[in-house]
Amino acid sequence: MSPAAPAPQRLIAVVGMHRSGTSCLTGSLQRAGLALGEVHEWNRYNLKGNRENQAIVDLNDAVLAANGGSWDAPPSRVRWSAAHKARAREILASLADAPVAGFKDPRTLLVIDGWLELYPAMEFVGVFRHPAAVAASLANRSGMERDMAHGLWKNYNRRLLALRRGRGFPLVDFDVDAASYRATVERLARELGLDAAGVAEEPFFEEGLRKASGSDRLPLALHWLHGRLRRAARATIRP
């Protein structure tokens, strides 16, 4: 990114598959001091809001559409136009006053190259959830069939692991018990240089946020990938 272009001093993206705890993690980090700008704080399927900046969602959607895809039909290759990059610079400029800014949109995993071109020092935090729980949540929200949901879970989480291999960021398991999840997020906030006390004093997480569980017998490929994610989560955030 050009040194003259206004942008936040630090930028942290929360990445993961849809319906996988990205909103909860982002809301928790917001309470620890992560500046998100104007975000959604309520919707029908997420009573505390998905914590998404609509401008970023719209841009990611536009990039996907220009490449013949969408969030639920990921294109194999993505190219950003000059207009897309210009819009991203405007969004980054809107966050420039924040010492530590962040955003969350699961689509980011599908269009990440353009964001990294504009902000190479972007930091990441990943989160994942059992594929059966994701499939159940997508079925409840939009009537998506399980096989399609499983396919999307695999696509997104393979991209998540590939991104992590190159960037070495922490992963959070959204399926752990409530006490372990809260402790993990507090440790994560400290590792990111945020205010962990903000997480502890007013926790964003509530057990009711998890309305689906992962109990289905999985195809071998999904079981293997979920195991890799769990091992990575255990290895990257220490007590």
pLDDT tens-digit readout, 172-217: 999 999 899 999 999 999 999 999 998 876 666 666 666 556 566 7
5 domain residue, yes or no? no
Partners of 172 in beta bridges? 127
The dihedral built from the CA positions of residue 230, 231, 235 and 236, taken in this order, carries a sign that is: negative
Contact 122/102 with Cβ under 8 angstroms?
no
Domain that holds residue 70: 10-236
Q: Decide the pairing of beta strands 100-104 and 10-15.
A: parallel
CA distance 95 to 9: 9
- The pLDDT of residue 40 is 55
Number of domains in the chain: 1
Give the residue among 195, 225, 165 at the shortest CA–CA distance from 30: 195
Report DSSP letters for 31-63, one per residue.
HTT-B--S----BTTBTT-----HHHHHHHHHH
- The pLDDT of residue 38 is 81
80 domain residue, yes or no? yes
Give the residue among 86, 116, 106 at the shortest CA–CA distance from 25: 106
Buried b (16+ CB within 10 A) or exposed e, 135-162: bbbbbeeeebeeeebbbbbbbbbebbee
3 domain residue, yes or no? no
203 domain residue, yes or no? yes
CA distance 76 to 53: 25
Q: Between vectors from CA 234 to CA 47 and to CA 29, what angle results, nearest 5°?
A: 35
- The pLDDT of residue 30 is 92
Token pair of 127 as six digits: 């989160």
- The pLDDT of residue 105 is 97
Q: What is the mean pLDDT of the chain?
A: 89
Amino acid at 205: F
Please identify every stretch of the chain with a pLDDT value under 50, giving residue numbers as ranges.
1-3, 42, 45, 47
Half-sphere exposure of 107 (CA within 13 A, CB side): 22
Residues in the chain: 239
Residue 48 exposed, middle or buried by CB count within 10 Å (0-12, 13-18, 19+): middle
CA distance 121 to 119: 6
3-state secondary structure of 177: coil
Radius of gyration of the chain from Cα atoms?
Answer: 17
Q: For position 31, which CATH number holds? A: 3.40.50.300
